[in-house]
Structure 1
Amino acid sequence: MSTPGTGPPLTPSEERAWAIVAHIGTLVAAWLAMGFLCPLAIWLIFRNRSEFVRRHALESLNFQISLLIYTAVAIALVLVTFGLGVLIVIPLIIIGGIAALVVIILATLAAASGQEYRYPLTIRLVR
């Protein structure tokens, strides 16, 4: 029985496919604030089989964790200001959501073409 994350190396086309899923898959779970689950699963499964997939999944994972942190800070701001922070937070959430979608698409395109991608404003907690 093999342990998770071990197996034969991935082919270049498999590497690109799993790197793409690490980025675009976040959109599926993001509706439940669980966008980090897809890149986390891919990172855990493929980190020892492909350095390319490991880097893309890790970058996507750190970006999703950063988004959760920024959301928690926004919620805290609303609570601390007794709701007045909503005037600032709502426009930031709209702009941030559009920006997040754009960079996720850019990361997906980079993965599809075999290139590296670094998300902006990302706290790199997982290494």
Structure 2
Amino acid sequence: MTDKELILLIDADDDDQQFFQMAVSDLPVPIKFLSFKDCSSAIAYLSSQSDRLPGYIFIDPDFPRIDWEECLGHLKILQGFGNPRIAAYSSRIPLHWQAELEHQGINKLIEKTGTISTLARQIESLLKQDRAYL
């Protein structure tokens, strides 16, 4: 079952995780938030929580150990069970990545911004698109 009020972030940078959490906290309705430093940890957690999958997964495609294509492959398997929306969240999303990320099943591309309020608006916009957040 997908929990549309649960957002999961996969990002190796502690500061970026904190920044994202502050943006989620600024949303006008309560959202549950989990973060993981790498894809392996997130996949292990999600595999053990198949009854409560997040509605949204944000990943920084530039993380260590597992490359983003392999991570997306694992996340696509999870999509079959709960259909979470997957967004790329990175400080740089080169043009040559954009088409490939979309082809691999990324639903949204969000560049890391300098302000919490801008990021909160981008997250809120994605949630509103699904009407899961009104």
TM-score w.r.t. length of structure 1? 0.32
Structure number with greater Rg is: 1
TM-score w.r.t. length of structure 2? 0.30
Q: Comparing both structures, which one devotes a greater share of its residues to strand? A: 2
